[in-house]
Amino acid sequence: DIKLVINTPSGSKSLADEILIRRNAVLKSIPTITTLNGARAAVKAIKSLVESDLDVTPIQDFCAKI
């Protein structure tokens, strides 16, 4: 199963491919990253989650307490 798509297009041929890739990712609810900076940030965040004992809390939980 594909859980994440990283696609950094460049050029006119890549644009056509990007549209197809993004459309299919959206239809299957797969997150898509389209910039190198975004990919670096995602990798860093995933690495931090894997290597640490960090808990993730949805923002909705914080808002419910307000």
Burial of 39 (0-12, 13-18, 19+ CB in 10 A): middle
CA distance 32 to 22: 7
Q: pLDDT by residue (tens digit) across 3-60?
A: 999 998 787 778 888 889 999 999 999 999 989 999 999 999 999 888 988 777 899 9
Could you tell me the pLDDT band of residue 2, with boundaries at 50, 70 and 90? very high
At residue 28, the pLDDT reads 96
**Beta-carbon-side half-sphere exposure of residue 31 (alpha carbons within 13 Å):** 7
